[in-house]
Each structure stands twice: as structure tokens, then as C-alpha cells.
């Protein structure tokens, strides 16, 4: 046999082995609109005809002998003819619920000897012998499940429970509860009946008398919720020795007084689960539960107690201590509980699950009675700041607490519990806006939910006592305002066992690189619906990380650092990343990111929905990233030259502008620099310019070559005879200081600056510096007061004067030294007047 032939044979054998263990689907032979499925393991057929618009039950041909189940629900079938199922002898499951069946015939179920479950819910089968004949179920001896709920309609008072005595194997029965009726002696034949559900939209029992369950003594499960029960007589349940589950919820006229008879009876049963939720009207007065209501439960082995939605405000002292030690789960949700003595009594309870969620919840009054008054008792809710400086009492075995949506309105202070085994705590949907902590002695806590609390501040030591926490949900808060400052990762440092953390919906723009530095065991990181633009925080220490959810953020593309971290984490194990609903861009800047998407081993969740936006505003789906990347790479290849050219031109232009501005204002900048420097070093004393008080009357600015004129003539005439105080650089400058600092300080401390102009003056750089500094002093410190006075010692040609000096001379007066006896007298008088002005 050739290799190709052997390969075909191998594939054929493999195909047969697969088909042998698969279900085969096909159109049913008895009704083409139905879908049949052959279970090849048991070689039986299941027919699904639900919602096909059938007006009648199909005729089952002889081939229907393999039919195991028939689903004809949600059609328009009105009757079940005699002998319609005689060819479906192996039918075990029949569902005809939600039709319009209004009559059963004596032989309607003839041939269904193997039928196990029958669902006739939501039809029009009134409970009387004309509609449901006593012997109509005689052909179904193996029936274990029968559902006749939602059939009696509005006129239930004229009806009676159907006769089911022929169903000796029946275990589960679902009926509509009827008023003023009980189960007749025929139910005594149902020795295996253990489950009875009478709750439905049509249930209207009213008063339950003591003989109601007289002939159903083996019941273990009873549900009479939503049955408008107003009273339950004593000894109604006392004969049900095997009863383990009882639900009397949503009978709003029963109240706690009606529960007392029930709890009295339950001490003679095997009750384990009791539910009496909403047995008070929603808009009635607040209630309290007393000892008489629950005192008989101490003689039971009750495991679960549910009393939600009862406007329960207070539990009287001693009630909690009466509850049986076997109680494991207690639910008091949707009430009006206030703080009281019963909380301290709960310290000795053995419960492991407590649900006190949704306290003080608002209800829709549209469908509720409003003819009651609210209690005047003021709810004692803890609000805002409070302190707890001692360990709080806590049930030793309590492992799970639910207090979500209970309008807790305070800052979480330092909390320390006594010995406890708390593992799960849900305090979401409250108003715990500031988490101070620490949470001490929460040594076993593994799950904590503080989401939706409008919290905007969390201390760095809040989680100090929760070292074993594995799952943390703090989503839908406002933590983005505070956690971005945790640069060392101190907030999450104690949580070294954390596996799942949810920081979504917290308006976080970024996180410090070391924020998750100590979470080495983290597996799931949820950060969706925030304001992230990139992954700036460190991930490489998370060796077990399997999922990062960054959907619905502001990420345009991931940078080099983020891509490197993701590749490092994905190197050793599978990593999933969700980036859906981010505003990706398709540009030259995102080339590296797009290329990474084509090559990475990271599993990008919801990738088929990723899209990016081009620079021209058009969007495209990232279904074929390779094509988009190649097109962008080609378009971006000429960009570097253009970018370098534009950048160079901008740099040159900016440089020229900056140089021109610097040159234009060079003297102003130098003046400001030296004046600031002098003030900082204390060279410039505080001068009262308003009162015109200065250290010197004039600073004499002259060239070294003209020192003879200054020392022999200027000092003699102005200081000696004019009684003025002059500042001369050779005499008055402080030794050791910078020359520029001495010059600016001298000009600032002098009323006037006298310039002795000569060719030597123009040749000196320091002289020109003194002239310009004096001009800057006049403009920016003396409010444009002219403090410069020009003296032409010798004749200086105009062409040799600098432009700034020429402009000053043209707009201001000056004086020339005459160098003759008569002229000198006038010269020194003018000098004295000018300096003293």
C-alpha cells in the first residue's frame, strides 16, 4: 500500500472516530420546521420545536421511537389529542410550556410510559376535573417532575388542586397555590413527593390552615413565596419531619407576627434553610424583630436564615443569642438597620456568611402601597470622620461579609478586628471617600471590594494588615488624583500575595514606574476606562501576569519601553492584552507599534475591533496590519530629510531672532544682570529715590589719561569749593570687587553721572561701559530722569562718536571746557548747578 493510500485510510478512521462521539443535527421527519439532534452516544433523538409557531402537536410517525425529548414550548398549541404520543414510546422529557392548551383528555399522554419530566407551565389549564381529568396521567407511571404553574388565571377561588394519585413516582411538583383549599387524601399516594413549589404570579393562598400539608408528609422543600399569604396557623408545618427548606418570602401582609407560628412549627422539623424576605410592606413603618419571633429556632439545626427587605431597623436585645449555633449564613439585606446592642451580641455567633447590603435603599413607589407613615425614629448612621482606637468585636468564624450599597458615609479610619477568620468583604457602592487605615489584623482576608465609593484619597499604609489579600477590586473611584504621587509603590507594598487587581474607571492619567513594584505574583491587571496614554509603570517583575486590560484609555500607540516590557513578560508564558477602544493613530510615529502588532507573541484581545486614524482624519480597521505598516513605511521614508531641513531652518531663524534681540537689548541685559548681582551680594545699599538721598552727588566717568584734569581741577572746584561729594574710581571703588560691580554700584548710588569726554574716553571700553550703564540707570531705575551730564574736555569730531552717544548729545544739553581764565569761572558755576540740580 502506497504512502498516500495509508494516509487516506488513517484520515478516514480518524473521521469515523470523531463522528462516533459527536451529535448529528438534521430536520425532524415529523415536522420540517423542527430541529432534531441525534446523540450518538445513547442513540436517541432530541427535538427542538420551541418558538416555531406550531398550532398543533406534530404527528409522530413510527420513526419517532428513538425520540428522547420534545421541546414544543412557546408555540400556539391549544390541545393535546388522545394517543398523539403513542409512537413516541421512549420519550422521557416533554416541554409544552407557554402555549394555549386549555384541555387535557384522558388519553392525551397514552404511550408515554417512560416519561420522566412534563412541563405544562403558562397555559390555560384551569384546575378542575373537566379540564384536567383525574385519570389523564395514568399512562405516565414514571413521571418524576410535573410543572402546572401559571395556569389558574384570575378566578382561582373556584378551582381545586388536580388529582395526581396515579403519579406514585412523582418527586417534584410545581402548582399554583389556591385559596381555601388543601391537598386531598389522594396526595397520600405520592410517597416520593419531596419538592413542592406553589409560588407564581397566579398564587393566592391567603390563610394556610393546619391541614394544608396533612397528606404530603414527606416534603423536604416548600416554596410558598409570592402567594399573598396573610396568616399561617400553628401546626401547619409541624408534621413535616423531613422539611429542610421553607420559603415564605414576598407575602407582605404576613409580617413578623405571622412568622412566629411558622418558627414554632419548625422546631419539630429538620429545617435547614428559612426565607421570609419582604414580609413587610415596603412603605410601612420601620420594624423591629423581637424574641417571640425567632425564639423557637434555637431548637432547630438551621443553617441559613434570610430576612431581607423587611424595613427592619432594630433587633431587640437577646434575639441574636437565641439563634441556633448551627446557623452558617445570615442575610438581612435591603433593610433599615441601625447600630445597636445586637451588633455586640453577634460576637458569639458561629455564622460564616453575613449579608447586610443595600441598607436604606430607595424603592419605586409606583407599584407599592403608600397608605402608611414612616417611622419618626431617626436612623443612627455613621457619617464622616470617626475614630476607632480599640479592636472591634467580630464573630470568630465569620468568613464572608457583604455590605454593598448600604450608604456607609465616612472616611475609613484605623480599623483593628479581634480574632477573626474574615476572607471576603464587599463594601462597594457606598460613600467611603477617604481610606486612611491601616486595616489591622485582617490576617485571612483574600477578597476585598471597595469599588464605587467616590474615594479620591488613599494613605500609603492603608493595606498594612492585609498581607494575604489575593483579589482587590477598587474600580470606579477617583484614585487617579492621589495614587500618581506614590513614586515608591508604598500603597500596594504589603500586598505581596495579590493575584487580581482592578483599578479601572479611576481617571488615572499615569502611574509611577514603581507603583506595582512589589506585586510579583499578580496575574490579572485591570486598568480599563482610565486616561492612560502609554505603559509607563514597570511590569517585568510580574512573572505570573496573564492579562492586562487597558481598553477604553487614550493610548495612540505604545512606546519602546512598553513594548519591551510586554515582550519580556510574554517570553516565558502566555500574556493577553486588551487595547480595544483606544484612539490608535496610523502615522510615522506609530510605525514601531504597528510592526510590533504583526510580530508579537502577546495575545491581543478583541483585535478584530482595533482601528486607527490617519493624519487626514480617515479611520481604518487594523485587520491587516501588515499592509498598513508597509504603506506607512513607504510614505514615511522621505520624512527624515524634510524634518531635518525644517528643523534646521527653524533653528537658524530662532537663532537670528534671539541674537538680534540680545544685541538690541545688550546694555539693558547687562545692567539688569549687574544690578541683580550687586543686590544679591549686598553691594548696593537701599537708596530712597523718592527723597533724592544718595551716597554721592556725582560719579565722575573719565579716561585714565585725563586723570590730571579730574584730580587737579574737578575735585578742587566741585568738592573743595562746591562742597559736593564725588565718586572717583581710583579713590572710592572697593578693592577686591569686580570692576563692573563697582561701576554699576557707583552710578546707582550717585545723583548724577558726569562724563569727561575726550578721544581717550572713546578709546576706553570701561568708559563706554560706564556711559551705557548710566543711561540704563536713567531709563529703568530713575523713571527716565536724565542723570547723565556730558563735558567735552577737548574737541571731538562727530564722526568719531558712537551712534548711541551721538543720539544722546543731539537730544540733551552738554558743556565744553573753555580752558581760559574767564571762561573757567562760568564753566565751574554751570558744572556746580548741573550736578546739584
| Residue of higher predicted confidence among 538 and 812 | 538
Whether omega for the bond prior to residue 438 falls within 30 degrees of 0, making it cis, is yes
The model's pTM: 0.70
- Give the tens place of pLDDT for each residue, 487-533: 999 999 999 999 999 999 999 999 999 999 999 999 999 999 999 99
- In the prediction, which pLDDT does 400 show? 95
Intra-chain end-to-end CA distance of the chain, in Å = 128
- In the prediction, which pLDDT does 1 show? 46
Q: In this structure, what C-alpha cell is assigned to residue 211?
A: 391541614
- In the prediction, which pLDDT does 259 show? 93
Helix H, strand E, coil C: the string for 287-309 is EEECHHHHHHHHHCCCCEEECCC
Give residues with Cβ within 8 angstroms of 746, minimum separation 6.
696, 699, 727, 729, 732, 733
Q: In this structure, what C-alpha cell is assigned to residue 396?
A: 470568630
- In the prediction, which pLDDT does 53 show? 93
Looking at the predicted structure, is the pLDDT value of residue 337 above 80?
yes
- What integer is the mean pLDDT of 326-350? 90
Using DSSP's 3-state secondary structure scheme, residue 507 falls into coil
- In the prediction, which pLDDT does 665 show? 62
- What integer is the mean pLDDT of 721-726? 86
Looking at the predicted structure, is the pLDDT value of residue 799 above 90?
no
- In the prediction, which pLDDT does 711 show? 87
Q: How confident is the model at residue 131 (pLDDT cuts 50, 70, 90)?
A: very high
Mean pLDDT of the chain, nearest integer: 86
Give just the sign of the alpha carbon dihedral 808, 810, 812, 814.
positive
- In the prediction, which pLDDT does 19 show? 39
- In the prediction, which pLDDT does 231 show? 93
Q: In terms of DSSP bridges, do strands 44-48 and 35-39 run parallel, antiparallel, or are they unpaired? A: antiparallel
Most confident of 6-10, 454-458, 704-708: 454-458
d(CA 442, CA 433): 21
- What integer is the mean pLDDT of 467-486? 94
- In the prediction, which pLDDT does 827 show? 84
Question: Are the C-beta atoms of residues 552 and 526 closer than 8 Å to each other?
Answer: no
Looking at the predicted structure, is the pLDDT value of residue 22 above 60?
no
- In the prediction, which pLDDT does 373 show? 33
Looking at the predicted structure, is the pLDDT value of residue 240 above 90?
yes
| Residue of higher predicted confidence among 438 and 42 | 438
- What integer is the mean pLDDT of 239-250? 96
- In the prediction, which pLDDT does 666 show? 62
Lowest mean pLDDT among 301-305, 368-372, 427-431, 697-701: 368-372
Looking at the predicted structure, is the pLDDT value of residue 718 above 70?
yes
| Residue of higher predicted confidence among 793 and 468 | 468
Q: In this structure, what C-alpha cell is assigned to residue 224?
A: 410558598
Question: Are the C-beta atoms of residues 787 and 821 closer than 8 Å to each other?
Answer: no
- What integer is the mean pLDDT of 73-77? 96
Lowest mean pLDDT among 167-171, 180-184, 528-532, 603-607: 180-184
| Residue of higher predicted confidence among 364 and 785 | 785
Most confident of 11-20, 166-175, 706-715: 166-175
Place of cell 500607540: 557
| Residue of higher predicted confidence among 407 and 5 | 407
Looking at the predicted structure, is the pLDDT value of residue 156 above 50?
yes
For the chain, what percent of residues have pLDDT higher than 90? Answer: 54
Amino acid at each position: 500500500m502506497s504512502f498516500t493510500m495509508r494516509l487516506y485510510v488513517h484520515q478516514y478512521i480518524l473521521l469515523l472516530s470523531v463522528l462516533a462521539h459527536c451529535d448529528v443535527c438534521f430536520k425532524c421527519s415529523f415536522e420540517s420546521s423542527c430541529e432534531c439532534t441525534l446523540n450518538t452516544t445513547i442513540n436517541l433523538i432530541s427535538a427542538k420545536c420551541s418558538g416555531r409557531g406550531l398550532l398543533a402537536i406534530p404527528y409522530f410517525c413510527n420513526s419517532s421511537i428513538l425520540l428522547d425529548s420534545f421541546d414544543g414550548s412557546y408555540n400556539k398549541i391549544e390541545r393535546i389529542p388522545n394517543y398523539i404520543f403513542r409512537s413516541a414510546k421512549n420519550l422521557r422529557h416533554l416541554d409544552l410550556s407557554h402555549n394555549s392548551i386549555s384541555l387535557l383528555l384522558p388519553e392525551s399522554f397514552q404511550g408515554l410510559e417512560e416519561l420522566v419530566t412534563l412541563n405544562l407551565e403558562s397555559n390555560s389549564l384551569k384546575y378542575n376535573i373537566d379540564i384536567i381529568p383525574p385519570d389523564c396521567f395514568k399512562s405516565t407511571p414514571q413521571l418524576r417532575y410535573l410543572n402546572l404553574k401559571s395556569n389558574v388565571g384570575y378566578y382561582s377561588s373556584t378551582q381545586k388542586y388536580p388529582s395526581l394519585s396515579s403519579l406514585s413516582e412523582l418527586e417534584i411538583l410545581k402548582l399554583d397555590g389556591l385559596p381555601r383549599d388543601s391537598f386531598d387524601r389522594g396526595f397520600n399516594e405520592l410517597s416520593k413527593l419531596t419538592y413542592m413549589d406553589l409560588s407564581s404570579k397566579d398564587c393566592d393562598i391567603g390563610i394556610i390552615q393546619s391541614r394544608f400539608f396533612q397528606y404530603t408528609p414527606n416534603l423536604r422543600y416548600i416554596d410558598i413565596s409570592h402567594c399573598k399569604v396573610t396568616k399561617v396557623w400553628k401546626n401547619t408545618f409541624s408534621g413535616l419531619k423531613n422539611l429542610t427548606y421553607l420559603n415564605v418570602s414576598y407575602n407582605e401582609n404576613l409580617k413578623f407576627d405571622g412568622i412566629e407560628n411558622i418558627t414554632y412549627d419548625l422546631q419539630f422539623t429538620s429545617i435547614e434553610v428559612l426565607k421570609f424576605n419582604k414580609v413587610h410592606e415596603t412603605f410601612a413603618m420601620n420594624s423591629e424583630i423581637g424574641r417571640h419571633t425567632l425564639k423557637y429556632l434555637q431548637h432547630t439545626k438551621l443553617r441559613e436564615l434570610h430576612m431581607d427587605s423587611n424595613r427592619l431597623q432594630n433587633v431587640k436585645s437577646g434575639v441574636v443569642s437565641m439563634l441556633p449555633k448551627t446557623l452558617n449564613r445570615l442575610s438581612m439585606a435591603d433593610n433599615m438597620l441601625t447600630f445597636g446592642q445586637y451588633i455586640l451580641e453577634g460576637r458569639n455567633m458561629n455564622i460564616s456568611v453575613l449579608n447586610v447590603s443595600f441598607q436604606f435603599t430607595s424603592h419605586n413607589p409606583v407599584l407599592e402601597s403608600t397608605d402608611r407613615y414612616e417611622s419618626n425614629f431617626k436612623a443612627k448612621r455613621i457619617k464622616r470622620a470617626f475614630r476607632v482606637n480599640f479592636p472591634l468585636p467580630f464573630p470568630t468564624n465569620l468568613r464572608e461579609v457583604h455590605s454593598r450599597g448600604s450608604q456607609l458615609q465616612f472616611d475609613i479610619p484605623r480599623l483593628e478586628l479581634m480574632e477573626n477568620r474574615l476572607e471576603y468583604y464587599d463594601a462597594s457602592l457606598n460613600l467611603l471617600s477617604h481610606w486612611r487605615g491601616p486595616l489591622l489584623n485582617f490576617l485571612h482576608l483574600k477578597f476585598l471590594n471597595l469599588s464605587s465609593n467616590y474615594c479620591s484619597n488613599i494613605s500609603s499604609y492603608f493595606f498594612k494588615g492585609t498581607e494575604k489579600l489575593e483579589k482587590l477590586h477598587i474600580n470606579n473611584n477617583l484614585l487617579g488624583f492621589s495614587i500618581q504621587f506614590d513614586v515608591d509603590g508604598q500603597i500596594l507594598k504589603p500586598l505581596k500575595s495579590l493575584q487580581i487587581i482592578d483599578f479601572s474607571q479611576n481617571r488615572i492619567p499615569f502611574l509611577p514606574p514603581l507603583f506595582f513594584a512589589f506585586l510579583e505574583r499578580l496575574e490579572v491587571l485591570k486598568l480599563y476606562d482610565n486616561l492612560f496614554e502609554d505603559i509607563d509603570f514597570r511590569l517585568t517583575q510580574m512573572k505570573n501576569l496573564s492579562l492586562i486590560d487597558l481598553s477604553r484609555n487614550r493610548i495612540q500607540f505604545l512606546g519602546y519601553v512598553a513594548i519591551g516590557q510586554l515582550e519580556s513578560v510574554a517570553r516565558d508564558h502566555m500574556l493577553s492584552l486588551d487595547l480595544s477602544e483606544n484612539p490608535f493613530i496610523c502615522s510615522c510615529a506609530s510605525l514601531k507599534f504597528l510592526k510590533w502588532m504583526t510580530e508579537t507573541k502577546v495575545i491581543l484581545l478583541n483585535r478584530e475591533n482595533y482601528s486607527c486614524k490617519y493624519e487626514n482624519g480617515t479611520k481604518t480597521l487594523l485587520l491587516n496590519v501588515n499592509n498598513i505598516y508597509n504603506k506607512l513605511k513607504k510614505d514615511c521614508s522621505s520624512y527624515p530629510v524634510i524634518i531635518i531641513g525644517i528643523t534646521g531652518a527653524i533653528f537658524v531663524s530662532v537663532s537670528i531672532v534671539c541674537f538680534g534681540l540680545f544685541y538690541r537689548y545688550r546694555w539693558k541685559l547687562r545692567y539688569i544682570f549687574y544690578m541683580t548681582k550687586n543686590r544679591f551680594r549686598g553691594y548696593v545699599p537701599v537708596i530712597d529715590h523718592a527723597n533724592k538721598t544718595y551716597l554721592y552727588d556725582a560719579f565722575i566717568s573719565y579716561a585714565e589719561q585725563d586723570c590730571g584734569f579730574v584730580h587737579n581741577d574737578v575735585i578742587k572746584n566741585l568738592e573743595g569749593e562746591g562742597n559736593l561729594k564725588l565718586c572717583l574710581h581710583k579713590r572710592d571703588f572697593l578693592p577686591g570687587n569686580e570692576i563692573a560691580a563697582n561701576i554699576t554700584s557707583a552710578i546707582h548710588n550717585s545723583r548724577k553721572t558726569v562724563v569727561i569726554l575726550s578721544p581717550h574716553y572713546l578709546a576706553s571700553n570701561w568708559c563706554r561701559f560706564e556711559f551705557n550703564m548710566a543711561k540704563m540707570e536713567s531709563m529703568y531705575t530713575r523713571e527716565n530722569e536724565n542723570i547723565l551730564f556730558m563735558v567735552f574736555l577737548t574737541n571731538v569730531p562727530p564722526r568719531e562718536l558712537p551712534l548711541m552717544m551721538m543720539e544722546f548729545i543731539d537730544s540733551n544739553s552738554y558743556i565744553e571746557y573753555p580752558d581760559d581764565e574767564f571762561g573757567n569761572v562760568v564753566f565751574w558755576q554751570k558744572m556746580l548747578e548741573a550736578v546739584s540740580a
